[in-house]
């Protein structure tokens, strides 16, 4: 079972004065600079949708965004275009992109000091039901690969839970938690490629 079309999300929280509109301004500025490897295209505003996507940065190969599905506010990266090189390469690509963008987010004037990023947890979904049906079998098949990758990348023994298990109709999703959290720079140094 090959891993593709991965979405990784890290929790964020407002320390004060929540301002989802700030993400709109920031994402537009990222497009101006074409900040990342992906071709950044547009910003989609869904602040009016409860417990759903908040603001998306649409790119050709992937989307970045802030999402509040099930009330869980987070910053995410979702890969649309396939990544070559196998499962580890796919996971590494997504994690690298997400962490780099999250670091950039933390430095943005609009957001700096107002936003807290939880560096102890990553939620992963595979956005393709044909490749990864949301079943215990998929979890059993993928858990070893995920464990090997995240143990190495996050620098510690991670806990992986099949979070989408209660609802088979959802996309396959797991939560990866690492006790004590991770340091972005260290993770980037350990990622393959």
Interface with other proteins (CB under 8 A): 2, 4-5, 21, 24-25, 28, 31-32, 34, 39, 41-53, 56, 58, 60, 63, 67, 69-70, 80-82, 127-131, 167, 169-171
Question: In the complex, what is the shortest distance from the CB of residue 182 to other proteins, in angstroms, rounded to a whole number?
Answer: 27
Question: In the complex, what is the shortest distance from the CB of residue 96 to other proteins, in angstroms, rounded to a whole number?
Answer: 20
Tell me the β-bridge partners of 124: 8, 174
CB of 74 closer than 8 Å to CB of 120: no
Question: What is the sign of the dihedral through the CA atoms of 184, 186, 187 and 191?
Answer: positive
Question: In the complex, what is the shortest distance from the CB of residue 120 to other proteins, in angstroms, rounded to a whole number?
Answer: 25
Question: In the complex, what is the shortest distance from the CB of residue 141 to other proteins, in angstroms, rounded to a whole number?
Answer: 16
- Which is nearer to other proteins, 65 or 119 (by Cβ)? 65
Return the closest-CA partner of residue 30 out of 21, 18, 43, 46: 43
Q: How far apart are CA 167 and CA 186, in angstroms?
A: 35
């Amino acid at each position: 079972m090959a891993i593709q079309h991965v979405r990784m999300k890290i929790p964020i929280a407002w320390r004060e004065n929540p301002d989802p509109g700030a993400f709109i301004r920031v994402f537009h500025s990222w497009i101006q600079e074409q900040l990342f490897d992906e071709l950044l295209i547009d910003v989609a505003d869904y602040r009016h949708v409860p417990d759903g996507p908040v603001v998306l940065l649409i790119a050709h190969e992937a989307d970045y965004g802030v999402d509040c599905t099930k009330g869980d506010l987070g910053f995410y990266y979702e890969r649309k275009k396939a990544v070559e090189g196998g499962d580890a390469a796919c996971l590494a690509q997504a994690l690298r992109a997400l962490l780099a963008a999250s670091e950039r987010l933390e430095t943005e004037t609009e957001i700096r000091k107002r936003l807290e990023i939880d560096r102890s947890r990553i939620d992963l979904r595979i956005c393709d039901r044909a490749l990864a049906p949301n079943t215990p079998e998929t979890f059993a098949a993928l858990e070893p690969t995920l464990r090997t990758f995240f143990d190495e990348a996050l620098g510690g023994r991670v806990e992986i839970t099949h979070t989408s298990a209660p609802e088979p109709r959802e996309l396959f999703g797991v939560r990866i938690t690492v006790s004590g959290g991770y340091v972005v720079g260290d993770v980037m140094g350990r990622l393959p490629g």
